[in-house]
Structure 1
Amino acid sequence: MKPNDLSTSSFIGWTCKLLAILIIVSLVVDCSSKKDVYYCPMHPHYTSDRPGNCPICNMDLVKKEDTSEHKDHSNASNSLQAAESISNEDHSSHLSETSSEKNSRELILSFEKQQSIGIKTELVSKRNLVKKISAYSSVAYDPELYSALSEYKEAVRSSEFLSPEIIRNLQLRLRQLGLSLDQIRIWTSGARDPSELILGGKSGRAHIYSQIYESDFTTVKVGLPIKFKTDVYPEKEFIGKIKSIDVILDKNNRTLRLRSEVSDPSQLLKPQMFGDTVIQVSLPNVLSVPTSAILDTGKQKIAYVQTAPDKFQAVSVQTGKNIEPWVEVLSGVQENQRVVTESTFLIDSEAKIRFGSDSHAH
């Protein structure tokens, strides 16, 4: 081989080695540098290393996000969400505490404030009460009942000639007019004369008819004592008892009729003489509060319970019989609790200022 040939071969070898090194360096640099990739949203298979337009649809190419960057971003997003979750939990906890505090609705009033608005309280307790019911009344004049009794008496005398159904129908009529079976027996046995119902009292007694409202029906019972007074004898009281209560309600004025007998030995009372009847009903062991303790909002009845010397809370209550100056309490408060009995409206106004118009929500 000639020296020139050797020199040429050596040069080519070095050139190839240099080219290889350059290629490797280029590849290393290429790999180490981050290249952007752009793709078409409509044709994802088309990619480019620079921004431009898709040759297929001419749509702008979109830069493809690096997965590692996305992962970092995702981690950051997750961390942010976790932080927000913790913040939300703290906020929810705060709201829960605030809501719990709000729902308690305990109104705090200093002793000076209580004195300034005149707050007084009283115990919820069981009391022996007496309910008085006043009823418009008149001395009996009842030709309808007189006729019904007369027909029934005659039917009983002639029972052997009449069917049992006729007698039962006549008895049913007397029941509809308000007589009990025991009274029917007394009136038709000869112990009483039905003419007393149209001619006035005999044998030292008079019959009194009274009207009571249906709300008092569950309170008034047969056998309760009554007192009858009339303006004709203003200084005199006629004492007696309730004998029967009608079974049919007057639909026009929502009242029931009571039939009573009072003592009238001088036969002073005359048929259709007007007056007033007072009925006294004893009600033992009634859980009650003063009527001034109950505030009727229209939607519910509330009372303010003293939960501590300087704390008050509105509670919803259900009431029963109104027995002035007391009212029966069916639910909402318990025995030995203390309720506000004076300045109820003022403490309610204070609660509305503190808690808003929904201060009665429980």
Structure 2
Amino acid sequence: MKKRSSVTFIAVLIALAVIAYGLYRYGHTVPGLRDIPLLQKTHEHTLKPVLTAEGEIDYWTCPMHPSVRMKDPGTCPICGMELTPVMKDTGHESQGAPHETGMPEGEDHSGHVMEGASPDAAGGKPKTEFTVSPERQQLIGVKTTPVAMRSLDRTVRTVGIVVLDETKVERVHTRFSGWVDKLYVNYTFEHVHKGQPLFSIYSPELVSTQEEYLVALRSKEALSGSGYPEISGGSDALLEAAERRLRLWDVSQGQIDELARTGKVKENLVVYSPVSGHVLEKNVFPNSYVEPGTVLYTIADHSSVWVEADVYENEVPLVKIGDEATMTLASLPGREFTGKVTFISPHLDMKTRTAKARLEFPNPDLNLLPEMYADVVIDVPAGEMLAVPDSAVLRTGTSDIVFVSKGGGRMEIRAVKLGAKAGVYYEVLDGLSDGELVVSSARFLIDSESKIQNAVASWQEDGGGHSH
């Protein structure tokens, strides 16, 4: 009986010892137990410095999860990696001030806390500067890029449709009435050359004017030797008037010279093509009667074409008349055409929010046909300007933020004002100076969304990045 009591007593002592150790070691993780004064007194311990050959260890952390801070060496509770020591007085992540995590100072900090974003001792506001040691930066792959003057030539990509060059479309008509006698070009889309006969026409008015010209010509020849200047001068005036009337009716100088040389009136006048191109319209038939001004043929010169491209409203200010452009077409694979911007519409389409840009392209081999679809790239020269890589910019929705490296592991959260983007660079309008270093690969530095939110929120509470 006495032996059984001794065994029971020893078992109770062991159980009490286990419970006491468990409360001491893990009591802070059980809701309500942290409020017990006894446990609070037994749990008040801090990160006691440890002296090594390299210096004084502040805490232990994980290279891949900087938010993990332990008072003793071991492994990371997240990834299992060996913890590395962080020395005091070397510009490392912690300055010894406890973070607002709801945990007593010195406990294992497994929550996400932005490094160095501790409250300011004077005003209780978060600092905009934090520190990451060079060794840590190397471990997490932080890279910096200098802010510098760069050539930010942009490209505006759009689509367009090939159309006719309106300045090279000719409409053939007569300035006198008459009957069409013969057609030399009798179908649409026929290719014609400049000076090629189109049709011949009989006009009583034209015949009488030719006769008047010949009479005036003979009178001048007969009176050229007259001793009376008034008479010879009058004949000259009649000849000039008759010739002028023929020219006003689109009779060429060659035809007038032939009339003067042969002295024979032509009943049928041949009308020639004014340009080389393709016949788009033919509104004339043999033996038909035509009135002055009636469009008989429409001929388009395809040696150059226009491309009408749609430019979005945010890119319209970038495009200027004279900008170089290149064009490719799915119907002509492997071909690239070079042209330039000749016109930008002053009106915006309300539905598509685009403006028409007109580009001109040479078409010597006539491969570019109207209504073809084209992919257009307009080169927009912007010149030299201060620029920062787009990978260095953190866009929060209300502001644009960069991490500026101050040297010695010190970094600063800074708001910047950005302009247009060209390739992988943003134009810097305000907030950075030439030569400053910005973090261009900060994915590991701002490892988790909660760390980003904590740092940016604290920084914004300090007044940064908001426009009031």
- Please state which band the TM-score falls in when normalised by the shorter chain: 0.5 to 0.7
- Cα displacement (A) at 1:254: 1.2
Do structure 1's residue 128 and structure 2's residue 227 form an aligned pair? Answer: no
Alignment of 1:338-357 (within 5 A): 338-344=437-443, 346-347=445-446, 349=448, 352=452, 355=455, 357=457
2:358 corresponds to which residue? 259
Alignment of 1:169-184 (within 5 A): none
Cα distance in 1 for partners of 2:306, 2:155 equals 21
Contact 1:351 1:359 in 2 (8 A): no
Amino acid in structure 2 at the alignment position of 1:241: K
**TM-score with structure 2 setting the length:** 0.43
Do structure 1's residue 138 and structure 2's residue 238 form an aligned pair? Answer: no
Answer 1 or 2: which has greater helix percent.
1
1:296 aligned to which of 388, 395, 406: 395
Alignment of 1:87-102 (within 5 A): 97-99=121-123, 102=125
- Cα displacement (A) at 1:267: 1.2
1:119 corresponds to which residue? 142
Amino acid in structure 2 at the alignment position of 1:278: V
Cα distance in 1 for partners of 2:126, 2:367 equals 65
> Unpaired runs of 5+ in structure 2?
1-118, 174-273, 282-297
Cα distance in 2 for partners of 1:273, 1:96 equals 66
Contact 1:196 1:202 in 2 (8 A): no
Cα distance in 2 for partners of 1:356, 1:138 equals 47
Contact 1:240 1:261 in 2 (8 A): yes
- Cα displacement (A) at 1:354: 6.9
Name the SS for the 1:248 alignment partner.
coil
Q: 1:249 to 1:277 in 2, by over 3 A?
A: same
Amino acid in structure 1 at the alignment position of 2:330: D
- Cα displacement (A) at 1:353: 7.7
Alignment of 1:1-362 (within 5 A): 97-99=121-123, 102=125, 104-140=127-163, 202=301, 204-344=303-443, 346-347=445-446, 349=448, 352=452, 355=455, 357-361=457-461, 362=464
Contact 1:306 1:339 in 2 (8 A): yes
Contact 2:126 2:458 in 1 (8 A): no
Name the SS for the 1:218 alignment partner.
helix
Contact 1:140 1:272 in 2 (8 A): yes
Deviations 1:272-296 (CA, angstroms, capped at 9, x unpaired): 1001011112222111011111111
Amino acid in structure 1 at the alignment position of 2:122: T
- Cα displacement (A) at 1:243: 0.4
Amino acid in structure 1 at the alignment position of 2:138: Q
Contact 1:200 1:271 in 2 (8 A): no
Cα distance in 1 for partners of 2:279, 2:146 equals 52
Cα distance in 1 for partners of 2:279, 2:413 equals 57
- Cα displacement (A) at 1:126: 0.8
Deviations 1:63-106 (CA, angstroms, capped at 9, x unpaired): xxxxxxxxxxxxxxxxxxxxxxxxxxxxxxxx985338x45411
Cα distance in 1 for partners of 2:386, 2:459 equals 26
Cα distance in 2 for partners of 1:309, 1:133 equals 42
Return the index of the structure with the highest Cα Rg: 1
Aligned length: 226
Cα distance in 1 for partners of 2:430, 2:280 equals 46
Contact 1:201 1:270 in 2 (8 A): no
Deviations 1:220-274 (CA, angstroms, capped at 9, x unpaired): 1000011111011111111111000000111112111100100110111111100
Amino acid in structure 2 at the alignment position of 1:217: V
Amino acid in structure 2 at the alignment position of 1:208: V
> Unpaired runs of 5+ in structure 1?
1-94, 155-190
Amino acid in structure 2 at the alignment position of 1:281: V
Cα distance in 2 for partners of 1:209, 1:221 equals 15
- Cα displacement (A) at 1:209: 0.5
Deviations 1:122-178 (CA, angstroms, capped at 9, x unpaired): 111111122111111110269xx89xx999xx9xxxxxxxxxxxxxxxxxxxxxxxx
Deviations 1:300-332 (CA, angstroms, capped at 9, x unpaired): 111111122301111111111110111111111
